[in-house]
Amino acid sequence: MEELIHLINGMSPYLLLGFLLAGIMHAFLPANYFNQYLSAPTFRSSVYATLFGIPLPLCSCGVIPTAMSLHKEGASKTAVTSFLIATPQTGVDSIIATYSLMGWPFAIVRPIAAIVTALFGGFLSSIADNGAQTQTFQPSQHAGVKGGNKIEMALEYAYVEMMGDIGKWLMLGLVVAGLIGVLVPNDAFAIFQNNTAASMLLVLCISIPMYMCATGSIPIAVMLIMKGLTPGAGLVLLMAGPACNIASMLVVKKVLGTKTLFIYLAAIVMGAVSFGILIDYLQFNGVVNFTSGLTAAGGACCTTNDPVFAWLCTALLALLLLNALLLPKLGKKFHFLAPQQQEVATTAQKVIHITGMSCVHCKAAAEKALLRVNGVEAVTINLESGEAKIVGSVQEEDLKKALEAIGFGME
């Protein structure tokens, strides 16, 4: 238990900062600014999509509807492939959290590996889609955010919406890491020590089909490395875990096709393994010590030496998680914004049920897709129940097609 608390104390200041930066990006970055650069099936659009996706705080589930929405607005398969690979592996919050627990070497290599892998996937896709026509850019008429103080909007997104989105996965990652630290013997992975191939094969079998949050996977990777897996295998977990899972693979196949799915998976596996091998080579030959920062950040387990500031940040993080995860179930939640800014006050003309949403990014993508349907005037979605209230004169079949185009269903 003491080891787990120390782990949280080490992460909490960086997590709070990461959430804040993510909220600022969400509030001040125009929603459709980059879409017009992603329409051509060329390597250049892959570069734009990668750079656009790297800092965004989108998780493995939230990136799917966002990417499908970009594709529907005119982004090419090449750009969408790079966006899908780059975005969930890193975000401003996870990069900062990576530094807090694993040190500078991992914090530097992780985004570089994500960028190179995404560009490689985009390059393969551009070759496969050679001859495809540039898609027509279709900006959403309802893309702009109206009203409200942007600072309050940033705080709302960072510490209410985003915290509720990835908070449960972050807690799960910390609990799993704690259980690994307590229950798994120190020599459990002794047979994998200095064995790059065996370590990576084990991690790939675990990480590819499962959902892993980019931030929540960090403490798991730390504990697995401390129990004997190689640092390269830890990077494979950090890359392959957040970048793909069964749900994302099914949606990619349905919307973008089998060929794009194969390119998507091949790029992730080849990129993760290649950088994993490079890290182990540098580690075993004494060029860079990837475990020194990890040991300093997560190896000690004496909470009495943690600074007061870390304890205060942990307490604040716990309160924000409580607000985002538990209070809504009791019908209460603290908001930074005034109640009248939380949802559109309208009289619903249609009520539908959306299936497949799991986070605030899913909700935002669904709202955006529905608002794009001709005749829709306003949309209000309840993420907990999946219920959507539609104002306007519109056919249900059109609503269903708009939702299915980004990977959701409708009842």
- For 252-289, the pLDDT digits (tens) are 887 788 898 899 999 999 999 999 999 999 999 989 99
Q: What pLDDT band is residue 173 in, cutting at 50, 70 and 90?
A: low
Residue 113, amino acid? A
pLDDT (tens digit, 9 = 90+) per residue, 193-242? 667 788 888 888 878 777 677 777 888 888 888 888 889 999 999 988 88
The residue that leads in pLDDT, 132 or 67, is: 67
- Predicted confidence at residue 18, as pLDDT, reads 64
Q: How far apart are CA 145 and CA 10, in angstroms?
A: 35
Examine the pLDDT at 358 and tell me if it is beyond 80.
no
User: Mean of the per-residue pLDDT values for the chain?
Assistant: 76
Examine the pLDDT at 145 and tell me if it is beyond 50.
no
pLDDT (tens digit, 9 = 90+) per residue, 48-77? 888 888 777 666 666 776 777 677 767 888
The domain spans of the chain are 2-317, 343-410
Q: What pLDDT band is residue 98 in, cutting at 50, 70 and 90?
A: confident
CB atoms within 10 A of CB 372: 19
Q: How far apart are CA 17 and CA 6, in angstroms?
A: 18
Q: How far apart are CA 9 and CA 223, in angstroms?
A: 16
Examine the pLDDT at 349 and tell me if it is beyond 50.
yes
Token digits of residue 304: 């009495």
Q: How many helices (H) and strands (E) does the chain have?
A: 16, 4
Nearest to 19 by CA among 95, 87, 115: 95
- Predicted confidence at residue 303, as pLDDT, reads 53
The mean per-residue pLDDT over the stretch 75-99 comes to: 84
Q: How far apart are CA 237 and CA 168, in angstroms?
A: 19
In angstroms, the first-to-last Cα distance of the chain is: 45
- Predicted confidence at residue 199, as pLDDT, reads 82
Overall CATH class of domain 343-410:
alpha beta
Q: What pLDDT band is residue 124 in, cutting at 50, 70 and 90?
A: very high
